[in-house]
């Protein structure tokens, strides 16, 4: 199972970063996603289901997952299916003064032939790293204002 782990330091307090990331309807502002839907209503909690379309390698793929852990200002964990492959997505928030150290982990079990699996995994790894850099840019750009 490929495991992608990215770290980033965001110049915002943990509360702001968690609030922004915990609202999956904000994902299109920093992720390459379309059509985010949450089936359990608001607020997000364990048992909530999140669904979205995630383009990758020039093709649209569907992702849906269930929130299995939601520890306010500390951790969000989701398990589900990405392009038909089982995944576990975890994001951990660590306070560093007025900054937030974010650790994003994405474990996905690809079952395709080796050569295509390698290409898929390389594309996914680059996409995840770029999305986290986008998140930093969106949140750092707001200074003392609340995130969009």
Read off the DSSP letter of residue 110: -
CATH classification for the domain delimited by 3-140, as one of 3.30.530.20, 3.40.5.90, 3.40.50.2300, 3.40.50.980:
3.30.530.20
Read off the DSSP letter of residue 112: S
Give the CA angle between residues 122, 104, 48 to the nearest 5°: 110
What is the helix (H) or strand (E) element at residue 147, kind and residue range? none
Phi, psi of 15 (to 5 degrees): -55, -45
pLDDT tens digits in sequence order for the chain, 148 residues long = 578 899 999 999 999 999 999 998 899 999 888 888 888 766 788 989 998 888 777 778 888 999 999 999 999 999 999 878 899 999 999 999 999 999 999 998 876 656 566 667 777 788 889 999 999 999 988 655 555 4
- 3-state helix/strand/coil string of 19-49: HHHHCHHHHHHCCCCEEEEECCCCCCCCCCE
20 vs 58, 87, 141, 145, CA distance in Å? Answer: 27, 22, 14, 13
Candidates 21, 74, 71; CA nearest to 50 is: 21
């Amino acid at each position: 199972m490929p495991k992608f782990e990215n770290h980033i330091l965001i110049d915002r307090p943990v509360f702001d970063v968690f609030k922004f990331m915990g609202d999956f309807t904000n994902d299109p502002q920093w992720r390459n996603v379309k059509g985010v839907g949450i089936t359990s209503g608001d607020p997000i909690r364990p048992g909530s289901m999140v669904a979205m379309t995630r383009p990758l390698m020039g093709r649209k793929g569907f992702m849906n997952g269930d929130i299995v852990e939601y520890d306010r200002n500390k951790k969000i964990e989701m398990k589900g299916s990405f392009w038909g492959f089982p995944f576990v997505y975890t994001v951990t928030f660590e306070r560093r003064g007025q900054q937030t150290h974010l650790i994003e982990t994405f474990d996905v079990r690809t079952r395709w032939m080796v050569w295509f699996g390698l290409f898929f995994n390389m594309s996914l790894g680059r996409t995840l790293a770029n999305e986290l850099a986008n998140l930093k840019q969106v949140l750092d750009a707001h200074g003392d204002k609340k995130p969009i």
